Chain A
């Protein structure tokens, strides 16, 4: 029941759960929580909201497990649920998911904080802050691509966006991030 990498296959775990072994769902949660938390954490900031979202996401996954078709990896399927649930949540709260103009403005002022001018700010730190200022969707795409190392194709399944759109969002986000670092060094 194990493949070469030693992980239980999606099929075996899902079958086990559908046969009534509720506790086996913990295996699914453990193996996907990092990805799910990346999506939820990048799009929301309140801890209580995050808790509610994570519960809602996995309950949805559990309830609809029988409809999982094994056309993608189980983690991609759950990440798709995570993405849709979180975007719905943001839309209900009328929080913009993509609006980039405000973010560019904010990021360009990142280095105007007086306490930062005195420190020789590290590029990684600036980057961390700049990513934090990006709109939820851009943040999520950057994280999925560069930190989770997912392909554009996998991200397209998760976000249900065309690959071209994902590419152009990623391109804009990277340019903003690069410029924010350059701006910082110029000012020093």
Chain B
């Protein structure tokens, strides 16, 4: 029998199936009660480790986490909304203040025309605006649907 015993590392690897089939190891184990005993000790260790109890949770982590996450998401949402509406208001004020000097000129155009021409003007403007607006909405909706559908298809 070999006087060099199997190392602890080798014995562990044997039990964890990290080793290729090795006749040297098998033969040594067959003839060496000492290494067989150590192998058995490791086998017991691996069984016992699985029985070590996990500490019970002292708190409900899901509730704790969701409270923090929802709070964070709400804050983020609020910040985003504030930024959006603030920016929009800013734009309206700027554009509005620039257009004030032009208002009398625009009104003068309408005043010089007959009522029918004025109505025609306004009607056409409203029709064009409505057409563009609905088209924009339609495009947005179809894009959203497409995105939503693609996103829910998990890539496996």
Residues of A in contact with B (beta carbons under 8 Å apart): 1, 3, 9, 11-12, 15, 19, 22-23, 25-26, 29-30, 33, 36-38, 41, 47, 50-51, 54-55, 58-59, 62-63, 70, 123-124, 127-128, 131, 142, 146-147, 171, 174-175, 177-178, 181-182
Q: Are the CB atoms of B45 and A11 closer together than 8 Å?
A: no
Neighbouring B residues of A147 by C-beta, 8 Å: 49-50, 52, 54
The stretch of B65-73, B90-98, B104-112 that contacts the partner chain: B65-73
Q: How far is the CA of A55 from the CA of B69 in the complex (A)?
A: 8
Q: Which of A12, A33, A59 contacts B69 (CB 8 A)?
A: A59
The stretch of B27-35, B56-64, B134-142 that contacts the partner chain: B56-64
Q: Are the CB atoms of B57 and A146 closer together than 8 Å?
A: no
Q: Are the CB atoms of B151 and A19 closer together than 8 Å?
A: yes
Considering only residues 1-15 of chain B, those with a C-beta below 8 Å from chain A are 8-9, 12
The interface size bin for chain B is: 35 or more
Q: Within the complex, what minimum Cβ distance (angstroms) separates A45 from chain B? A: 10
Known A25-B69, A142-B49: A30·B62 in contact at CB below 8 Å: yes
Q: Are the CB atoms of A29 and B61 closer together than 8 Å?
A: yes
Q: How far is the CA of A123 from the CA of B156 in the complex (A)?
A: 45
Q: How far is the CA of A47 from the CA of B156 in the complex (A)?
A: 39
A-B contact count (CB 8 A): 104
Quick check: is B53 within 8 A (CB to CB) of the other chain?
A: yes
Q: Are the CB atoms of A1 and B61 closer together than 8 Å?
A: no
Q: How far is the CA of A22 from the CA of B72 in the complex (A)?
A: 10
Quick check: is B152 within 8 A (CB to CB) of the other chain?
A: yes
9 contacts between A and B (CB under 8 A): A11-B155, A29-B66, A33-B61, A54-B64, A62-B69, A123-B44, A127-B45, A127-B49, A178-B41
Q: Which of B9, B54, B58 contacts A47 (CB 8 A)?
A: B58
Q: How far is the CA of A146 from the CA of B156 in the complex (A)?
A: 29
Neighbouring A residues of B155 by C-beta, 8 Å: 11, 70
Q: How far is the CA of A174 from the CA of B44 in the complex (A)?
A: 11
Q: Which of B12, B62, B151 contacts A15 (CB 8 A)?
A: B151
